[in-house]
Amino acid sequence: MNISLARLDAREKWSVYLILASDTSLYCGITNDVERRFKQHQTGKGAKYFRGRQPVKVAWQLNNLTHRQAAAIEPKIKKLSRKRKCQLVNQQSNYSELEQILATK
């Protein structure tokens, strides 16, 4: 995955994030405002995923992406094993580390 992180204005800055849920699962999503989106999940106005569990905290995020980049990365993270997702969180992995994790099977 070779993605350029060119300068972006505020409207174009997207993030991929992982939220730790009350059942210890990790939810992955994209947004252009992580704090706002987390509050939506807390108030039940976010993903259906949180209907049977509560969002606890934003455990990891990768910022300053275009929408296209974030949308391309999200399904790849969703396909990762829990172990690999925890690796992202524990290491607070940056973009280059994410590429390595995604490349490792």
HEC profile of the chain: CCCCCCCCCHHHCEEEEEEEECCCCEEEEEECCHHHHHHHHHCCCCCHHHHCCCEEEEEEEEEEECHHHHHHHHHHHHCCCHHHHHHHHHHCCCHHHHHHHHHCC
Q: Identify the pLDDT of residue 92.
A: 83
What average pLDDT does the segment 16-36 reach?
97
Confidence of residue 25 (pLDDT cuts 50, 70, 90): very high
- Residue 7 — pLDDT band, cuts 50, 70, 90? low
- CATH numbers and ranges of domains, the chain: 10-103 (3.40.1440)
Q: Report the range of poorest mean pLDDT among 16-25, 33-42, 45-54.
A: 45-54
pTM of the predicted protein model: 0.85
Q: What is the pLDDT of residue 4?
A: 52
